[in-house]
Amino acid sequence: SQPTSSAGSICELSEEPKGEKLVGFARLYSGSIRVGQRLYVMGPKYDPKYPKKHVSEIVVQSLYLIMGRDLESLDEVCAGNVFGIGGLEGHILKNGTLASTLEDARNMAGVKMETSPIVRVALEPEDPTEMDKLVEGLRLLNQADPCVEVLVQETGEHVILTAGELHLERCLRDLKERFAKIEIHASEPIVPFRESIVRADLAVNKEKEGVMVPRGRVEIKINSKLMTLKVQTVPLPTRVTEFLTKHSASIKAVVDEKIAKKNHKREDDDDEETGDASPLNANNLLNTEELEQQLRHEFAEAKKEGGPFTSLWDDIVDHIWAFGPRRIGSNLLINRIPGYVRKPFFQVDSKKSTEVAVDHADEVIKVDDDNDALSILDVDFHIHTGFQLTTLTGPLCAEPMTGVCYIVQGVEFHPEELVSSNGEQVDVRSRLHTVQGQVIAAAKEAYRQGFLDWSPRLLLAMYTCDIQANAEVLGRVYGVISKRKGKIVSEDLKDGTSFWQIKALLPVIESFGFSDEIRKRTSGAASPQLVFSGFDLLDEDPFWVPTTEEELEDLGEKADKENLARKYMDTVRKRKGMFVEKKLVEHAEKQRTLKKN
């Protein structure tokens, strides 16, 4: 018989003198499995088209019957059983598929978690010489917990992502007591935000130097005055932003396919545990044609809804230059440069094996440029780079953007501006690298100015909070949720009982200590369940101050009402070491004496 089993997750179940022993939790779908048998391990990214990739061979070292916390050794397991298996160390990170043969074997790996890890914490050992123990402990934790994610930042920091406060506490305790067995210093929990723009009550046009121009339009020259970049910034329709956010995995698949076709090789740019390319997950992705058609449909529906930007959505899909950030986000870079025509983004060409893509110029169809000194082809990649960098770190608090559309409307060159100190004309080509660096800086500044021309908004990471409580403690539950800036979505009385089922949305940034507080206020009668649900717009301008006579009369010059968006923005900026606009001394004539012990 040919066994086919799916090792759903790797769990720590027993301890040896050397340390922890990892035992796989598996289910056998067909055949039987015995100790000493040789099996193939297929990772989440295994594809039968490439049978030599993401596959390895193992020998089954031990089999166990799992009985609660105890393990009973077995020699053989038959189909239909759930069991423990040893000998998978170094072959499976979190999940995989085991089979006795690769012929007609189906890759069943891929475990979809109900919640996404959202709370991020940086770790370091109390004793710097024990860093290797921390790294080994993080490796074991990553295998033992299917929900946690372990990352190494570009700065060299070791970071773990957890589902919430309770999960974070458990992970830190396991690291200290079982896996790393050292004292660990953890940073304050880091919660992500998103940055976006809305029209609010702003006029579509504004006066600039005595002329009415569209809001969000920016013209900027690079430092050497050699080039002028014209960009218009507009907010994307809500339905389009939601569509792009929902189908980011499909966009990534299109980008990966374009890269693979250019380089004539299969790209393996993700870690094995992501499983993005597994057949199980691939069934949920839209192909290139479906993605293009549905995106056109969303823009068509947005155009029917009306608004000041309907004319901009005409054939916009044909002019998409890139998505961002990281080429897969919910922001668009649109090419409207006269005389510069690129291939449609969703057109993926198949090249012959003898053809090799040299650079990004393969995406360009036509360039009308009479200037021999400098061409759009010399700077187009750097305009795109500025877009990716800006959408990754927005101007509010260096968090990723969402729902912003940048339309590049023109690029003008002025080679006559480049002269030496003695007034002679300088060859532009000799300064090309300097010019390209200036283009990136100018593009970033243009995108930043266009963003701030509209009414900026923060998007908060949100939990869906489910609470079951009786009528006696209902008011206290509402009080705690309101205090934490949450909002009630629904409340239903369960038939035949005296219990109410409450569903609410709670900002992740306000959730720390929420469970303990609600249990204390209700004397243990209510217990919340928190699941990450996505990002929600906080409809408050972080730069708003009272300006009209009515606002000044109601709120005063300092605005008695706390600006929540400004508070969150300043908190993140402080954490990142960015400038915070805050008055340290409001009354210079008053003395403040601080006593320090």
Q: What are the average pLDDT values for consecutive 10-residue runs of the chain, which has 597 residues?
A: 48 48 85 90 80 84 88 90 86 83 75 74 92 91 87 87 90 91 91 91 76 88 89 94 93 86 54 37 73 93 86 90 92 92 79 40 67 78 94 94 94 77 70 88 95 94 93 91 93 87 94 91 90 92 80 65 87 89 67 55
| Cα distance between residue 378 and residue 391, in whole Å | 22
25: CB partners within 8 A, 6+ apart: 7, 8, 9, 10, 11, 66, 82, 84
| Cα distance between residue 546 and residue 355, in whole Å | 62
| Cα distance between residue 30 and residue 90, in whole Å | 25
Closest-CA residue to 285 (of 315, 304, 257, 309): 257
| Cα distance between residue 479 and residue 467, in whole Å | 13
Q: CA angle at residue 98 from 97 to 100, to 5 degrees?
A: 145
Q: Is the residue at 571 inside a domain?
A: yes
φ, ψ for residue 403 (rounded to 5)? 75, 30
Task: Kindly state the tokens that stand for 469.
Answer: 């409580």
How many independent structural domains does the chain possess? 5
Tell me the residue length of the chain: 597
Question: Is there a single domain that holds both residue 592 and residue 493?
Answer: no
| Cα distance between residue 468 and residue 527, in whole Å | 7
Q: Is the residue at 264 inside a domain?
A: no
| Cα distance between residue 398 and residue 161, in whole Å | 19
CATH at residue 95: 2.40.30.10
Question: Is there a single domain that holds both residue 237 and residue 327?
Answer: yes
55-59 sheet: strands from edge to edge: 55-59, 38-42, 96-99, 4-16, 19-30, 82-86, 62-67, 70-74
Question: Is there a single domain that holds both residue 394 and residue 493?
Answer: no
Last residue of a domain, one of 389, 418, 453: 453
Question: Is there a single domain that holds both residue 34 and residue 84?
Answer: yes
Question: Is there a single domain that holds both residue 473 and residue 335?
Answer: no
Question: Is there a single domain that holds both residue 351 and residue 315?
Answer: yes
Exposure letters 284-321 (e unless 16+ CB within 10 A, then b):
ebbebeebbeebbebbeebbeeeeebeebbeebbbbbb
Task: Kindly state the tokens that stand for 317.
Answer: 């899909």
Q: Is the residue at 440 inside a domain?
A: yes
The answer to whether 257 and 347 are in contact (CB under 8 A) is: no
310: CB partners within 8 A, 6+ apart: 302, 303
482: helix, coil or strand?
Answer: helix
Last residue of a domain, one of 190, 213, 237: 190
Q: Is the residue at 582 inside a domain?
A: yes
Segments forming the whole domain that contains residue 183:
119-190
Q: Is the residue at 563 inside a domain?
A: yes
CATH at residue 448: 3.30.230.10
Question: Is there a single domain that holds both residue 50 and residue 171?
Answer: no
Element (H, E) at 458: strand 455-470
| Cα distance between residue 97 and residue 105, in whole Å | 9
Last residue of a domain, one of 67, 99, 131: 99
Q: Is the residue at 215 inside a domain?
A: yes
Question: Is there a single domain that holds both residue 532 and residue 443?
Answer: no
φ, ψ for residue 554 (rounded to 5)? -80, -40
Question: Is there a single domain that holds both residue 26 and residue 168?
Answer: no
CATH at residue 505: 3.30.70.240
| Cα distance between residue 358 and residue 351, in whole Å | 12
φ, ψ for residue 6 (rounded to 5)? -115, 115
The gap from C-alpha 377 to its chain's centroid, in whole angstroms, comes to 31
Q: Is the residue at 255 inside a domain?
A: no
Give the predicted TM-score (pTM) of the model: 0.80
Q: Which amino acid is at 465?
A: C
Q: Is the residue at 275 inside a domain?
A: no
Q: Compute CA distances 340 → 244, 311, 331, 539, whole Å.
A: 26, 21, 21, 38
| Cα distance between residue 584 and residue 574, in whole Å | 14
**Burial (0-12, 13-18, 19+ Cβ within 10 Å), 198:** middle
Question: Is there a single domain that holds both residue 444 and residue 463?
Answer: no
Q: How many CB atoms lie within 10 A of CB 96?
A: 31
Place of tokens 């998978």: 88
Question: Is there a single domain that holds both residue 394 and residue 429?
Answer: yes
172: helix, coil or strand?
Answer: helix
Q: Compute CA distances 518 → 163, 168, 364, whole Å.
A: 19, 19, 59
Question: Is there a single domain that holds both residue 305 and residue 383?
Answer: yes
CATH at residue 184: 3.30.70.870
